[in-house]
Structure 1
Amino acid sequence: MTQSDPSKAQPPKPKNVLFIMCDQLRFDYLSCAGHPSLSTPNIDALASRGVRFNRAYVQSPVCGPSRMSFYTGRYMRSHGSNWNNFPLRVGEPTLGEHLKRLGVRNVLVGKTHMKADDEGMARLGIDPDSVIGVEAAQCGFEPYERDDGLHPTRPGAERPRYDGYLEAQGYPARNPWEDWANSGEGPDGEQQNGWLLAHGDKPARVPDEHSETPYMTRRAIDFMREAKADGRPWCLHLSYIKPHWPYIAPAPYHDMYSADDVQPAIRTDGEKQNPHPVYGAFMDMRVSRNFSREDVRRRVIPAYMGLIKQIDDQLGLLFRFLDDEGLSASTMIVFTADHGDYLGDHWLGEKDLFHEMSVKVPLIVVDPAPAADPTRGTVSEVLVEAIDLAATFIDYFGGQVPRHIVEGRSLMPHLLGQPVAGWRQFVISEYDYSMQDVRRTLGREPAECRLFMLFDGRFKYIHAPGFRPMLYDLASDPDEFRDLGDDPDFQAERARLRDWLLGWALTDHNRITMPDNRIEAYSPAAQLKSGILIGYWDEAELAAAKKGFGLD
């Protein structure tokens, strides 16, 4: 038997990351998370191959600031992009910059909700078409196919390629994304605007294969095919726009679920009686009033479920592609969402506050390495933050997480079943409601419209400047019906959590240009060696100090 020549052995395949994000997907709308009607076998199979983190929280319950935290590994208070289309300031370090140093391509297919800091780039003389300009404008991503959807015809926006694709398939319009992919059709062929909740039961005007989710899946596959020839490791962010509104799905997903599959709303009449002023103002928003109607929920939620089912079906095709191309054994797969959706729970629509269905997200991580075999199919109850993914990816690709920049923590030890000392005691989420009509309802100035959530795994404390706090005990009240923010029996808990929040707020988060190791290397001996002689009396004292430091 001839032994193979080690010098001719095939080099190991480069590591890759497939970072999948759904927009506005609730943590509990998966069958592996216990949904009684919605079947998601491909996502469930993914969970059986990795770790499902059952207590993962985003750093803001709104698309833009949440995603900026995912993409920088930093809290909202640190990166300053507090709302959708608030520019991420030029120079803010991103995951793309960290991975580029490791020789890894950071590639986008889908949505980022990133707004470029055009004024900052102009001030610094950065050409937006240069390599640096593109990286700064695209949140550190190589934009293989960027499509934020939602408002593709807004002033100054580049027309998405998806619009051109729809036109090529025979769906011409100024905005085919809205007029075809996100609209229904009446009995006489009239367009029915998919933005309107009343049309949630209609099929979209394009067939399944031409709708957004399959299109983006194919584009992700296109990239991975092309990347094989390149040979470099990659992190591909496949960012689905759905199940975010407009709540309208193509056939057959539009009527795959019915009103009978709609779960009872998680809410009580008591929540509407003397609510916290901020909570009460959000309950009075139009979207909340409409989703508080049972007929609206029964019309919209089946479409929401159909959009999730479509994503699961497409992920089945995507995972089979990875298997067929031999990529599964070298690709970490992450599945998550940027936030959830109230869908009428707690008398709210959208995702603006901090109840579990808004701020908690699904998170499944599959590490293909044999070392992760002991944790496959497990459910972890550790407290996880969205910013942990940036740290995890840096760690996975062999880099050192820059602790002075990235505020998240690597999940790699949890994936490998290793003990972790001193894991976090709480998670943080933030919200800036200055862009909402709630600000005017409450008579607040923009700088006063901040909310801070701290959750320690049992108590959820919400600091609302200018108002009393909110507090929920999820051990005795898992549905968060009873606000203990002014209950005298819980004063001690509120004080404890407020101190923790203050400690977090006072933690240095702006020293991003000086790494810890350079600070640790600084010493009196180094100062003396540099010739800086502060505080010495005379030559004798100086000579003694040099001798003590071994510098004589």
Structure 2
Amino acid sequence: MPKNVLFIMCDQLRWDYLSCTGHPHLHTPHIDALAARGVLFDRAYVQSPICGPSRMSFYTGRYVSSHGSTWNGIPLKVGEMTLGDHLRPLGVRTALCGKTHMAADIEGLRRLGLSPDSEIGVLISECGFEPYERDDGLHPDGGPYARNSAYDAHMKDRGWQDENPWHSVANSAEDAEGNILSGWFLDHADKPARAADEDSETPYITGRAMDFIREAGDQPWCLHLSYIKPHWPYIVPAPYHDLYGPERHLDPVRSAAEKRDPHPVYGAFMQERVSQAFSDDATRGRVLTAYMGLIKQLDDQIGRLMAFLTEEGVADDTMIVFTSDHGDYLGDHWMGEKELFHDPSARIPMIVVDPSPEADATRGVKSSALVEAIDVVPTILDYFGGAAVPHIIEGRSLLPLLHGKAERLRDCVVSEYDYAQRDVRKRLGVEVKDAKLTMLFDGRWKYVFAEGFRPMLFDLESDPDELVDLGADPAHAPERARLEQLLFRWTRRTAQRTTISDAKIAASDATIGEATAGILIGYRNQDELREVLAAAGKGGEG
């Protein structure tokens, strides 16, 4: 039977808002069942805590500073290999249902004479995926994101004739007088969306994924099912809108001390409008009700999808990767959104179900190995039997962990963030080129290098909630120096030589190659040349 991969990504799903990762009130039995069938990687981190750069790292297997797509809307440059580029030569159909947040490198395509609507142009423009149905889930009127005409048509078929049903139906509520209450406004988060459950975005894109699987036939496939929730707008249909009232909300993880003398960059992010909103308990409570409902709806759809795989007879031949592109502060640390490196933002759920017998010994294991988003591409490539290409892919295959042949892959994880396009940069008076943050975490110490400012430092052993910044504490200067050296070593990696592997370079002999080509550099006479060629087994002619 052919092998398949179902690569499921949620948008803005925190690592700890699942019952299998410890949430006491939000029960997610279908996602928990995936963890029981596979390995739950409990310490997985994104390469950037913002949608676009994180996803480009997920799809390329490369760090942000390697692929260069440093923020939302910054194109992934033509020439960067993605998951589909690695899998298509293996005969694997690699397709997308849902979101990528990809911005096409139109200038690069034009420079190479490629049309964005040509066969190769489409693949480059869609992150290497065949766009079975792309839906980035952001369709505001007049906004920068393309409308999903297929979803519009679906809603019109269901009787909604609104000009933009994504906005006015799926992501809006309605009051008793018939007024539309936009889900963009946080005050409406605890109200039911106008759309029925089955017409809303999560069930819709699940159905489209099922359509793809039905149509795929016998060709091996890798489907990226990329949900656009529980990302904002925070609003969910009935009956999910009121399942989780305040009695089931967790208290925010934050302290007054964090506000007294924060790191300048952190302090500036606390001043953002979204952070101020989530610091208000009433607003936070309304959003949490919707956020938890969106996750519950998502879990129900995972159950629907898993039952479908079984009915189609492909469950035993399909690897499942379940993860998120980043987290959501939800008021923790006086923050809203994501973007910095506390665990609510940068740590993600990661579950991998390998159906092969080699993985039987690790089913149900919770692994504490440090894992990165860039590990997904080499894992899938390895699963399909593709050769490793470490000069291109910087992540590492998880199969040794899944098969019980290793307990760890690395000593630290790294995440990067470019805040040049945020108001924070302007408030701090930082130049575009210096608006950079880099986080290194070794399993205990989380170190954040902030260009132009002192570093941040957290000891997650004594301070698991990351409430005490030790970045200016003289007593921890040695620890900061050690971590800075680790980060410096990481920055010195060779990341851009992607056209030739280290192994090929190691196997070559430049001296002999030049000599046999007649390029004679440094030889004093022909006898010396004959000796070199003879020693290399090339004969003594010359």
TM (normalized to structure 2)? Answer: 0.98
Q: Contact conserved, 2:139 with 2:148, CA < 8 A, in 1?
A: no
Distance in 2 of aligned mates of 1:118 and 1:234: 28
Distance in 1 of aligned mates of 2:101 and 2:36: 31
Is residue 226 from structure 1 mapped to residue 215 from structure 2 by the alignment? yes
- CA-to-aligned-CA distance 1:2-23 (integer Å, 9 cap, x gap): xxxxxxxxxxx11000000000
| Secondary structure of 1:241 counterpart | strand
What's the counterpart of residue 511 of structure 1?
497
Q: In structure 1, list runs of 5 or more residues that go unmatched.
A: 1-12
| Superposition deviation, residue 532 in structure 1 | 2.4
What's the counterpart of residue 497 of structure 1?
483
Matching residue within 306, 318, 341 for 1:354: 341
| Secondary structure of 1:271 counterpart | helix
| Superposition deviation, residue 521 in structure 1 | 2.2
| Superposition deviation, residue 466 in structure 1 | 0.6
What's the counterpart of residue 433 of structure 2?
447
Distance in 2 of aligned mates of 1:352 and 1:371: 38
Is residue 237 from structure 1 mapped to residue 224 from structure 2 by the alignment? yes
Distance in 1 of aligned mates of 2:464 and 2:144: 44
Distance in 2 of aligned mates of 1:156 and 1:185: 25
Matching residue within 185, 190, 202 for 1:213: 202
| Superposition deviation, residue 515 in structure 1 | 1.9
What's the counterpart of residue 257 of structure 1?
244
What's the counterpart of residue 138 of structure 2?
150
**Identity over aligned pairs, percent:** 60
Q: Contact conserved, 1:333 with 1:367, CA < 8 A, in 2?
A: yes
Is residue 521 from structure 1 mapped to residue 507 from structure 2 by the alignment? yes
The residue type equivalent to 2:213 in the other structure is M
Matching residue within 442, 465, 480 for 1:456: 442
Q: Contact conserved, 1:146 with 1:160, CA < 8 A, in 2?
A: no
Distance in 2 of aligned mates of 1:26 and 1:36: 14
Name which of structure 1's ranges 151-160 and 446-455 shifts more when overlaid on structure 2.
151-160
Distance in 2 of aligned mates of 1:186 and 1:261: 26
| Superposition deviation, residue 149 in structure 1 | 1.2
Distance in 2 of aligned mates of 1:156 and 1:250: 23
Name which of structure 1's ranges 21-30 and 542-551 shifts more when overlaid on structure 2.
542-551
- CA-to-aligned-CA distance 1:13-52 (integer Å, 9 cap, x gap): 1100000000000000000111010010000011000000
What's the counterpart of residue 2 of structure 2?
14
Q: How many residues align?
A: 537
| Superposition deviation, residue 173 in structure 1 | 2.2
Alignment of 1:370-385 (within 5 A): 370-385=357-372
Q: Contact conserved, 1:18 with 1:332, CA < 8 A, in 2?
A: yes
- CA-to-aligned-CA distance 1:151-201 (integer Å, 9 cap, x gap): 355357354311221122111222210111000011111100100000011
Distance in 2 of aligned mates of 1:213 and 1:350: 21
What's the counterpart of residue 179 of structure 1?
168
Alignment of 1:466-481 (within 5 A): 466-481=452-467
What's the counterpart of residue 203 of structure 1?
192
Q: Contact conserved, 1:37 with 1:261, CA < 8 A, in 2?
A: yes
RMSD: 1.1
The residue type equivalent to 1:31 in the other structure is S
Q: 1:183 to 1:70 in 2, by over 3 A?
A: same
The residue type equivalent to 2:99 in the other structure is K
What's the counterpart of residue 377 of structure 2?
390
| Superposition deviation, residue 543 in structure 1 | 1.5
Matching residue within 384, 395, 398 for 1:408: 395
Q: In structure 2, list runs of 5 or more residues that go unmatched.
A: none
What's the counterpart of residue 267 of structure 2?
280
What's the counterpart of residue 331 of structure 2?
344
Q: Contact conserved, 1:152 with 1:159, CA < 8 A, in 2?
A: no
| Superposition deviation, residue 492 in structure 1 | 0.8
Name which of structure 1's ranges 158-167 and 437-446 shifts more when overlaid on structure 2.
158-167
| Superposition deviation, residue 526 in structure 1 | 3.3
Distance in 2 of aligned mates of 1:217 and 1:61: 25
Q: Contact conserved, 1:181 with 1:204, CA < 8 A, in 2?
A: yes
Is residue 433 from structure 1 mapped to residue 415 from structure 2 by the alignment? no
- CA-to-aligned-CA distance 1:410-436 (integer Å, 9 cap, x gap): 00010111136x831100000011111
What's the counterpart of residue 109 of structure 2?
121
Matching residue within 136, 139, 157 for 1:168: 157
- CA-to-aligned-CA distance 1:191-219 (integer Å, 9 cap, x gap): 00100000011100010000000000000
| Secondary structure of 1:382 counterpart | strand
What's the counterpart of residue 54 of structure 1?
42
